[in-house]
Amino acid sequence: MSNKYKKVLAASVVAIVFAGLCGCGRTEPVATEPAVAETETVTETKPVEEASGTQNSVDRQFVSDLSDALVARWIITDSKENKDAKAELEWTETAEEREFWQKPVNAELDVLAKGDYKNASFDDPELGEQAKSYIACLEDCLEATNYVTSDYDKFQSGWEDAQNRRYIIVANMVNKYGLSVPDDYKGDLEAMVGNASGTELTENTEGPIFKDNTYTCEKFTITITDYKVIPPGAEGNKYGDKPVIAFWYDVTNLADDSLSTTTAWITTFQAIQDNDPNMVNELNVGALPDSRFLDSQTADIKIGGTVSGAISYELTDDITPVTLEAYSLYGDIYGSQDYDIKQ
């Protein structure tokens, strides 16, 4: 990851983007539990057996256990002891702070573990998928806390992503499956529903994916519309001394308040030519191959808007295919695709 950003900073267009980001400073993580929403309310819904048309005991038991798991979490997070510890430990980047964030997550996982819901058979397939996805969100939260002492920005990013997915699942559980909690905790549940902002779960709850020239995640999509190899001196590579592979693409902003075509691409893809027997040959970013995007490449895309962009990579030979890999902050690969470069 660090190698990629070094390359990005070497390209003038990307340097502009990250220069702006560097001035932003650290923001408070979404690691905090949600404040009680003032306007969003939890609506009355049917019990799970009516909402899903099933009497399956696993289905009913998961909804009940999820309620108990949330309460177990809130018993911790709503306590005076926890609030005092938060004031003392937050931003210390210590092992004690890591344990502080892990404690409420583990409280939920302990309750849900008794049902073995990862392997359970649900009568309602959608409910089964959401149960597995919710547990995955909790596990992702724990994974993020591993970076509290070494890379706080990575902790923030990983925690925020997992929490946002968690809010959406809980809102759907309330609206479709009748999830409820005791009166003392209704405010906490309403806050989660409010944080979900009414967003519906989509088929992408399994996570980001790169397939058939399209990358999809919760916040944006990238669709590759064209690519070609440009030799040195040709239009799009006039001042280069190496051939480049250029990609043209469209970015659609689904939910990100600050997103440009350049940042969407750079934080998603790495380009590799597998022509070294010993090392991964990650390609350097080249010059902008299409002057039409000189002004728009760093512009913020409105939520719901689509903007086109282009990028190039310097080739190290003219035979080996280029592999684009979509990856996460933690090194997970969300898909890859090979592009032939033979002229």
The pLDDT of residue 40: 39
12 assigned to some structural domain: no
Query: What is the rounded distance in angstroms from the CA atom of residue 212 to the CA atom of residue 205?
Result: 19
For the segment 10-30, what is each residue's pLDDT rounded down to a tens digit? 344 343 333 343 333 333 344
Average pLDDT, the chain: 82
| Residues 125, 93 share a domain | yes
27-31, 146-150, 186-190: lowest mean pLDDT where?
27-31
Say which residues have a Cβ less than 8 Å from residue 15's Cβ, sequence separation at least 6.
Answer: 8, 9
| Residues 323, 252 share a domain | yes
The pLDDT of residue 265: 96
Query: What is the rounded distance in angstroms from the CA atom of residue 188 to the CA atom of residue 261?
Result: 37
293 assigned to some structural domain: yes
CB atoms within 10 A of CB 209: 15
| Residues 261, 143 share a domain | no
Of the chain, the percentage scoring pLDDT greater than 90 comes to 54
- What's the pTM value of the predicted model, to 2 decimals? 0.47
38 compared with 164, residue with greater pLDDT: 164
Query: What is the rounded distance in angstroms from the CA atom of residue 37 to the CA atom of residue 123?
Result: 33
E-strand ranges in the chain read: 209-211, 214-216, 220-230, 244-253, 269-273, 306-314, 322-327, 333-339
The pLDDT of residue 206: 57
| Residues 146, 75 share a domain | yes
Write the CA distances from 293 to 42, 51, 177, 256, 299, integer angstroms: 45, 49, 47, 21, 10
The pLDDT of residue 152: 87
Last residue in a domain, options 201, 230, 247: 201
| Residues 167, 55 share a domain | yes
| Residues 264, 212 share a domain | yes
Query: What is the rounded distance in angstroms from the CA atom of residue 70 to the CA atom of residue 67?
Result: 5
Sheet holding 220-230, edge to edge: 209-211, 214-216, 220-230, 244-253, 306-314
Name the 3-class secondary structure at 79.
Answer: coil
Residue 128 pLDDT level (bands cut at 50, 70, 90) = confident
Domains: count for the chain: 2
Residue 56 pLDDT level (bands cut at 50, 70, 90) = low
Name the 3-class secondary structure at 165.
Answer: helix
**One-letter identity of residue 142:** L
18 assigned to some structural domain: no
The pLDDT of residue 248: 98
Determine the angle formed by the axes of helices 80-89 and 95-113, rounding to 10 degrees. 140
For the segment 176-187, what is each residue's pLDDT rounded down to a tens digit? 899 999 999 988
Last residue in a domain, options 169, 201, 233: 201
Mean pLDDT of 75-91: 87
Of the chain, the percentage scoring pLDDT greater than 70 comes to 79
Structural domain span for residue 140: 48-201
What DSSP string describes 193-235? HHHTTTPPP-GGGG--EEETTEEE-SSEEEEEEEEEEE-TTST
Query: What is the rounded distance in angstroms from the CA atom of residue 90 to the CA atom of residue 68?
Result: 27
